[in-house]
Amino acid sequence: MTDSSGSSAQHRVAIDVDVCAGHGRCYSIEPGLFDSDDAGYPVVRHETVPAALLVNASRAVGNCPEGAISLRPVD
């Protein structure tokens, strides 16, 4: 994703742990970005999303049944 100047903007992915039911789709879709804890709930591997994983991060957001994952540009 690019900003209005055409340069790549950094993005941050977050998981709302109060909403997440631990289905594991996110770390199944993108194990390079998400991991699981001992209880099977996802954790984010990177503070900011590497550019090479941005498309897959967007796909993980769209595949979360509870809508617990958000992807936002870093201010």
- Identify the CA nearest to 51 among candidates 29, 33, 25: 33
Name 45's Cβ contacts closer than 8 Å, sequence gap at least 6.
32, 33, 34, 35
pLDDT beyond 60 at 5 = no
CATH number of 11-73: 3.30.70.20
pTM of the predicted structure, to 2 decimals: 0.81
pLDDT tens string 27-70: 998 899 999 999 999 999 988 998 888 999 999 999 999 999 99
At 6, the pLDDT band (50, 70, 90 cuts) reads: very low
Residue 23 is encoded by which pair of tokens? 């289905």
Helix or strand (DSSP H, E) at 29:
helix 25-29
User: Tokens for 26?
Assistant: 């996110």
Residues 59, 65: Cα–Cα separation, whole Å: 12
